[in-house]
Structures are given as structure tokens and as C-alpha cells.
Structure 1
Amino acid sequence: MTASASTPLLALNDVVAGYGNLTALHGINLTVNKGEVIALLGANGAGKSTTLRVISGLITPKSGSLTWKGQAIGGMQPGRILKLGISHCPEERHVWPEMTVEENIELGGYLLNAKSELERRKDLAFQRFPRLKERARQLAGTLSGGEQQMLAIARALMSEPELLILDEPSLGLSPLMAQEVFKVVSELNAHGVSILVVEQNVHNALSVAHRAYVLETGNVIAEKDSASLLNDPELLNAYLGG
């Protein structure tokens, strides 16, 4: 199916999903348009990470529809979803600690057949993240938390996604390093990458997002542009801890 100009890049309609008999999402509706940064906000247990896992194919929805450029992708295998242009950078980074920085980045290109293309994308990653180039031969497990987060993002970008999904990119980082991570998010978006980010630090997320969805116990309770949400103290205090 060919997407029209008005078709969202990604759309979730009444998506219900969970783990075994536990339902974590109770009919989620969400869209990401081309060129947008969307923040997914809410307290622990609200269903944010589950939503991301459904999108990337790690969880099959029980009901509802999930489309990418108008094409149904609900229940599709993660590898196929990655090939379509969606890349998931998971919570807590999950770098391979006993492998080098360079080897971790190369793992992000595992679907590539041509070595020349792998090298091109790896060179681009090192241009984008000069600190990683300096540490290319260093074991990933010896990097700082912020450097590991940069590595996880660089690895996720090796598939050259149209949509990058980030799950808690500033988790455990110093305020300064968190700012650096979100600077990278803004730069990626400026280069045409659409981004869906789950983030506990509301102000960090809204500093880069165009719109935000607020989740509570598996339901979307609000959808606003970032400026409107920042100016809604009642909503911030009630659901996002101020």
C-alpha cells in the first residue's frame, strides 16, 4: 500500500496488548507523523515500554490495529519491522560489554549484505559520535553510562531508520549527560529522523518533542503539543509528578 501525504508514518488504533493473562494496554491510540518527535509520558507501570515493544514487534497485540505508512504491521516479526524502517533502542542500553565499541556498532548492521555499506554506515556513526570513534577499540563495558547510551543509539541508527524508538535514554545519567543525549535527539530529528521517546524526565522530553501522549494504567489520558502540556500544571502534577 502506498501512503498518502496525510497518512501517519505510524498509527496505533485501539491497541490492546499485554503479557499472558495480564493486559497492560487497554486500547491505545497514537500517531507519529513524518518529521515529528513524540514523547510518551507517564508513571512507572503506565504501559509506555509495552507500547514500544508492540511497535517493534516484540509483543503481538491482542486486538486493535498497528500500521506503518498505512500497512498493517501488528504481529509482524521484529526483523521485518526493522527492515521497514523502525529501530528500537531499548531501556538500559543493553550494549555487549565484552565486545568493542566498533563491534557493537557493527551488530546494528547485521541485516546488511554488502561490507561496503556496513563500512559507510559505521563511518557515519563515528562522524556523528566522535567520542565513540576515540573509543572504537575499547570494550563497551568500560564506557560511562552516557557513552553507552550514545553507543546504543549509534547501533540503532545503523539500519538508517525513518523512525527511531528510544526507551528512557537519560535513565541513570547525570543532568549534563542527559542534556547531551537530548541534543543528539534534536540533531537526528533535524536530519529527518522521526522519533518516539519514552522518558521519565518530563522537561527533557518536552524540550525536544512536538507532541506528547500521557499514559496512565494502559490508557492515553491526554495528547497535547509540548508547549500546552508544559503550561498545564494540573495535568503535570496529577500524572507526571510535576
Structure 2
Amino acid sequence: MANPIPIGQGASAPSAHLLELKDVHVSYGKTAALHGVSLAVQPGEVVALIGANGAGKSTTLRVISGLLRPTRGEIQFDGRAIGGMPADRVVALGIAQSPEERHVWPAMSVYENLSLGAYLCKSAAEIEQRIAKVYARFPRLKERHRQLAGTLSGGEQQMLAIGRALMSEPRLLLLDEPSLGLSPRMAEEVFDFVREIHAHGVTVLLVEQNVHNALSVASRAYVFETGRVVAERDAAGLLQDPELLSAYLGA
């Protein structure tokens, strides 16, 4: 593949956390979803959150991105407190999320979906430049730029969801279940794109049900159970710990 135009704004000084959560609690009404989650992501890392369904992984992404408010605890991005900050301000600071189940606009074209991700851009020329970068990263989207998003395959919709998130040129990309519902071949293709995006300067925090897919791209992982972090290991160490994987993931 030819070298595409880099996407992303680079990383902060490597000595500081890019993202840090300290004792974060979240509730849905009266139901507690996170119970004191603490984790950190360094600039340039790919970090995975793994665990069974309902363990709190997606909730963690949603509270980082501003879609949920923490009931207690601290969230810092590049040294700045963002806990409870509105989602549009979080995006403006450099965090973007590609949501679970993709949520593309099915009756809009690929081009129109990408344009929606560029609402922070100040000019039409800037939007076109960013779309060109996404097309360089995902040539299949360029081939289908006039096609309605609802007619794309699942893998193509996932590329579109990631491309839409990249339109804000984030420093930190939150990926929620990028392989959900995809064939093994298409899932591997999506993870190849994750590796390439990361290689061009975007830090990634990844939620993924397929443990082996997640650990194939991540340098570290946090294991979740019932809204808590129960372990943190480097990816290679986790793959060599079948007892831990079996205990918390059934893997």
C-alpha cells in the first residue's frame, strides 16, 4: 500500500499521560456501572479494554468522550480535567470516538457522512483536505463516495465510522468494538487499518470483545469485571496467562 497522507496531530511529550482516569464512578440512574476505574494511556500507545459483556468497557469510553457524566472521580486529558465536559468540547480538545455498531447515517452518502465528522472545520477547503486524507487511508471509501452508507457492507461501514472519527484529526481515538459483526477476514482488515492509523501518530484506546484481535494490536490491556479494573498487563503477558483470561473472559 502506498504511503498515505498522515492523519492526526501528533502526541504530547512522552513523559506525561495523555489520558488518565482516577477512581471514576458512573451510574445509569440508580444503577452503578463503574466502580472506581483508574487507568492511564501514554502518547503513542494502543491500549485495549477487555472483559465480558456488561463489564463496563463501553461505559468507560462514553464517560471519556463526554456522552456520560462521572458521578465521582477525575478524568484528565493532556493534564486538563475533562470529566463532565460536553462531548463537543471533548472532540475539540482532540478525542474522537467510533461507536459500537458504527451508527453511520444510512440514507446519506459516504461523502456526506464524512462531512458530518468535520463540524469543527472552519472552511470548505479544510473539510475537503481532511476527506482526502481519509480517502488516502481508506481507498474503498473513495471508490464508494457517492454510495449510500446503508448499502455498504459491515466492514465498509466500520471503515466509514472510523474515517468519520478521524475527520476531527484526533490525538486520541476511542474505538468501541470495531470487529463486531464482521467476518474474520474483514475484521483482520479493520485491525490492519488500526495499526496503520496508530503508526501515523494517533493514540488508540480500544474496546474489543475478541481478545486475540485486541491483543494483536495493543501494547497493554486492562481487564474489566463488573465495572472494575481487575488486572493490567502488557499484551504479550496476557496472552501467556490463560488462567487470567479464562477467569475473567472465558477465553
Residue in 1 that maps onto 2:5:
none
Verify the 8 A CA contact 1:18 1:50 in the aligned structure 2: no
Q: Given the alignment, which residue of 28, 31, 49 partners 1:22?
A: 31
Residue identity in the other structure for 2:158? Q
1:228 matched to 2:237: yes
Partner amino acid, structure 1, of 2:188? Q
Unaligned runs of 5+ in 2: 1-11
TM-score by length of structure 1 reads: 0.98
Tell me if the contact between 1:213 and 1:222 (Cα under 8 Å) persists in the aligned partners: yes
Asked if the contact 2:13/2:43 (under 8 Å) is kept, the reply is no
CA positional deviation for 1:241 = 1.6
CA RMSD of aligned residues (A): 0.9
- The one-letter code of the counterpart of 1:119 is E
Give the superposition deviation at 1:6. Answer: 2.4
For residues 1-242 of structure 1, the aligned pairs below 5 Å read 5-242=14-251
Distance 1:176 1:185 in 2: 15
Matched letter for residue 235 of structure 2: S
Give the secondary-structure state (helix, strand or coil) at the position aligned to 2:52. coil
**How much does 1:5 deviate?**
4.4
SS of residue matched to 1:205:
helix
Distance 1:185 1:122 in 2: 18
**SS of equivalent to 2:108:** coil
Question: 1:96 and 1:5 mapped to 2: Cα distance?
Answer: 37
Q: Which amino acid aligns with 2:174?
A: I
Match of 2:97, SS state, is strand
Extract unaligned runs of 5+ from structure 1.
none
Alpha-carbon separation, structure 2, partners of 1:101 and 1:205: 27
TM-score (norm: length of structure 2): 0.94
C-alpha distance in 2, partners of 1:37/1:93? Answer: 20
Mapped to 2, the partners of 1:190 and 1:122 lie a distance apart of: 19
Residues in 2 aligned to 1:135 and 1:4: alpha-carbon distance in whole angstroms: 38
Work out the CA distance in 2 between the residues paired with 1:59 and 1:53.
Answer: 6
Corresponding pairs, count: 240
Letter in 2 for 1:214: V
Give the drift of 1:7: 1.9
Instruction: Give distance in 2, aligned partners of 1:5 and 1:200.
Output: 29
Deviation at 1:110, TM superposition (A): 1.1
Partners of 2:18 and 2:41 within 8 A in 1: yes
Aligned in 2, Cα 1:134/1:29: closer, same or farther, shift over 3 Å? same
Q: Partner amino acid for 2:128? A: E
8 Å CA contact 2:20, 2:41 repeated in 1: yes
**Cα pair 2:52 2:225 within 8 Å, conserved:** yes
Deviations 1:101-153 (A, max 9, x none): 11001111011111111010001111111101010011000000000000000
2: CA distance between counterparts of 1:5 and 1:129? 29
Give the letter aligned to residue 78 of structure 2.
K
AA matched with 1:60: R
